[in-house]
């Protein structure tokens, strides 16, 4: 969890595009956000629907 916090802290507070990759490095999702840091952080906090939970479990 500490590694995740460290990586999140490196993300900019700006618009951007992000890639979610599985353990083998294959891209499983491409997204865009007005505030990149907040959007990526949101995947790892709170509750999500089944599709999002599955994607997060593959990261």
Domain ranges of the chain: 2-58
How many Å apart are CA 47 and CA 42, to the nearest integer?
Answer: 9
Query: Which of 41, 56, 35, 34 lies closest to 5 in space, CA to CA?
Result: 41
What is the pLDDT at residue 25? 94
**Tell me, which fold does domain 2-58 have in CATH?**
GIY-YIG endonuclease (3.40.1440)
Arithmetic mean of pLDDT over the chain: 88
Q: How big is the CA angle at 29 (ends 25 and 35), to the nearest 5 degrees?
A: 110
Two structure tokens written together for 14: 């700006």
**pTM exceeds cut of 0.85:** no
Predicted confidence (pLDDT) per residue in 14-47, tens digit: 999 999 999 999 999 999 999 999 998 888 887 7
């Amino acid at each position: 969890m500490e590694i995740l916090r460290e990586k999140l802290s490196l993300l900019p507070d700006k618009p951007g595009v992000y890639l979610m990759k599985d353990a083998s490095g294959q891209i499983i999702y491409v997204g865009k956000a007005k505030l990149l840091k907040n959007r990526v952080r949101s995947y790892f906090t709170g509750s999500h629907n089944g599709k999002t939970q599955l994607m997060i479990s593959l990261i």
